[in-house]
Amino acid sequence: MTALKAGAATDVGRVRQINEDRFLADEPLFAVADGVGGHQAGEVAAQTSVDTLRTAFTERTAQGLVDAVMAANQAVWQLAQDNSEKRGMGTTLTAVALVVEDGEDQLALTNVGDSRAYLLQHGELVQLTEDHSLVEELVRDGRITPAEAQVHPQRSIITRALGMEPAIEVDCWKLIPYRGDRILLCSDGLTNELSNDRIASVLRQLADPQEAAHDLVRQARAEGGGDNITAVIIDVVDDGGRAEKASAELAREPRAPAPTPPPTVTEKAPRAVQGSTSTATATRTRPPVVAEVATERPRRLTWRVLAFSLLVIAVFGAIVLSVAWYARSAYFVGLEGERVAIYRGRPGGLLWFDPTLQERKPLTLDDVLPVHHSELRAGKEQASKAAADRYVNRLRQEFDERRAASTTTTAPPGRPTP
């Protein structure tokens, strides 16, 4: 019997006047919605989506969760059609539900929009969902890098949301829950302010899901709070002995792990056919979230094989640590939109180590001499945070001195004394 424990927190942030985020944390169903639209329409869309999701989720299967999301989309769409002031409103919706598939407990995950779901498993944080956003499409097409996407001026534009059309495509995955797994659902107000490393650090350090959710929201607000911030954390506290059984089987029969093909994920995607809306089932593959161990003939493990394996692991670990140190040992001054900012890391990132935003400066490109614009766009590397601060101060000082020199005038010479 799978048992879950959850915590949730939300905050309006430091810029918005209204909190248009909504969340649901009512076992077996959990969700985060981030509304969009003026005249408080986003708030209405998000609230309508979670209310409808809760009511419509009556069949505890992955398909039942997809159907409930579709019902939420239809409710938001119809509400907008009935009220002209609400036209154009919409909302993201990311949801997780404990379901029963083939006689066993599983977690079904659905997503529409750019609110995200993460899995923390064995201390490693993995993003489960794909953002339905303009910058994510640019990244997938190879037109910009993930680092560029983090500071792209159009990163808030989403390409899919509930309520925009009468039918919606819903991404859906099924996960096997193991005791110790931790799932995070969050709006982009959290991920815009905190890097994956900081999110993972909080999730590792704070055992209580409610305390962890509050701390994530608190840190995101402290980093700027440019949008509404919401976090829902779901812990798998019991899996009915599934983890112990798997460990016991591995202990009894030591064998090398065989390659595991990506699991098949079923998603229900409505498609328009000759003016009507029909529902078709599409199949796609995703990277495995939980590794399965396949059965193969036992292989003899000798001390030479073990020593060689440990040596390879040690060398690989040293290489990874060296790359990580080099990638994170520097800072650079760059731009967040048109604003000067300090990042930790290497411009453009190095392998899987992306630069992280350390500090936004009260300085824009208009406050910097044009000669420095190109190096700021490329990223001006500095040896330390203090050196980066000094460089920004020099930029400000040069600009102020040039402006003062250009505005200084001299009095006209007087007549010579007779």
Evaluate whether 134 touches 156 at the Cβ level (below 8 Å): no
H/E element holding 395?
A: helix 385-407
170 vs 162: CA distance, rounded Å: 10
Identify the weakest region by mean pLDDT among 38-47, 100-109, 177-186: 38-47
State the distance between the two ends of the chain, measured CA to CA, in whole angstroms. Answer: 109
pLDDT, residue 275, reads: 29
**In this predicted structure, what is the pLDDT of residue 12?**
97
Q: How far apart are CA 92 and CA 72, in angstroms?
A: 11
Q: Can you tell me the distance from the alpha carbon of 388 to that of 357, in angstroms, rounded to the nearest whole number?
A: 13
Omega of the bond prior to 416 within 30 degrees of 0, cis?
A: no
Q: What's residue 355's pLDDT?
A: 87
With a pLDDT cut of 70, the percent of the chain lying above it is 80
The mean-pLDDT minimum among 32-46, 161-175, 235-249, 360-374 falls in 235-249
**Residue 173 CB neighbours (<10 A):** 22
Q: Which residue has the tokens 């590397």?
A: 381
pTM of the model: 0.61
Pairing between β-strand 93-101 and β-strand 29-36 as defined by DSSP bridges: antiparallel
Comparing 398 with 69, which gets the higher pLDDT? Answer: 69
Q: Is the predicted pLDDT of residue 268 greater than 50, yes or no?
A: no
Q: Which of the residue ranges 84-93, 204-213, 246-255, 339-348 would you say has the lowest mean pLDDT? A: 246-255
Q: Supply the pLDDT for residue 89.
A: 93
- pLDDT value, residue 62: 97
368 SS3 class: coil
Q: Which CATH number fits domain 2-285: 3.30.1540.10, 3.60.15.10, 3.10.129.10, 3.60.40.10?
A: 3.60.40.10
Residue 39 predicted with pLDDT over 80: no
CATH number for the domain running over 331-407: 3.30.70
The helix (H) or strand (E) run that includes residue 33 is strand 29-36
Q: Is the pLDDT of residue 284 over 70?
A: no
Q: Is the pLDDT of residue 417 over 50?
A: no
Total number of residues shown for the chain: 418
Q: Please answer whether residues 168 and 111 qualify as being in contact, where contact means their C-beta atoms are separated by less than 8 angstroms.
A: no
334 dihedral zone (left: phi>0; alpha: psi -120 to 50; beta): beta
Mean pLDDT, rounded, of the chain:
82
Rg (C-alpha) for the chain, rounded Å, is 26
pLDDT of 416 higher than 80: no
Helix boundaries (H) for 57-195: 62-82, 134-140, 146-150, 188-191
* The pLDDT of residue 145: 77
Q: Which residue has the higher pLDDT, 232 or 349?
A: 232
Q: pLDDT class for 302, splitting at 50, 70, 90?
A: low
Domain ranges, ordered by start, for the chain: 2-285, 331-407
> How many angstroms separate the CA atoms of 373 and 366, rounded?
10
Phi, psi of 151 (to 5 degrees): -120, 10
pLDDT at 29 over 50: yes
pLDDT digits (tens, 9 = 90+) for 86-109: 888 999 999 999 999 989 999 999
Instruction: Give the per-residue pLDDT at 30.
Output: 98
What single letter denotes the amino acid at residue 401? E
Where are the alpha helices (H) located in 275-356, listed in sequence order?
Answer: 303-328
DSSP type of residue 144 = S
The SS3 assignment for 322 reads helix
Closest by CA to 216, choosing from 204, 206, 202, is: 202
Closest by CA to 33, choosing from 76, 3, 83, 85, is 76
Is residue 168 within 8 Å of residue 73, measured between CB atoms? Answer: yes
- 156: confidence class by pLDDT, cuts 50, 70, 90: low
pLDDT score of 52: 98
Q: Check whether 360 has a pLDDT greater than 50.
A: yes
- Rounded distance, CA 395 to CA 372, Å? 8
What's CA 227's distance to the chain center, in Å? 14
Two structure tokens written together for 145: 């890098």
> What does DSSP assign to residue 236?
E
More confident residue, 288 or 197: 197
Q: What is the pLDDT of residue 42?
A: 92
Answer yes or no: is pLDDT of 366 > 60.
yes
Asked if pLDDT for residue 16 goes beyond 70, the answer is: yes
* CA separation for the pair 376, 380 (Å, rounded): 6
pLDDT top residue among 36 and 200: 200
Task: State the pLDDT at residue 413.
Answer: 52
Using 50, 70 and 90 to split pLDDT, how confident is the model at 292?
A: very low
pLDDT value for 155: 64
Spell out the long-range contacts of 368-373 with Cβ–Cβ below 8 A and sequence spacing 24 or more.
Answer: 368/340, 368/395, 368/399, 369/395, 369/398, 369/399, 369/402
Cα of 230 vs its chain's centroid, Å: 12
DSSP label at residue 320:
H
Instruction: Answer whether residue 149 shows pLDDT above 80.
Output: no
Q: Which residue has the higher pLDDT, 418 or 377?
A: 377
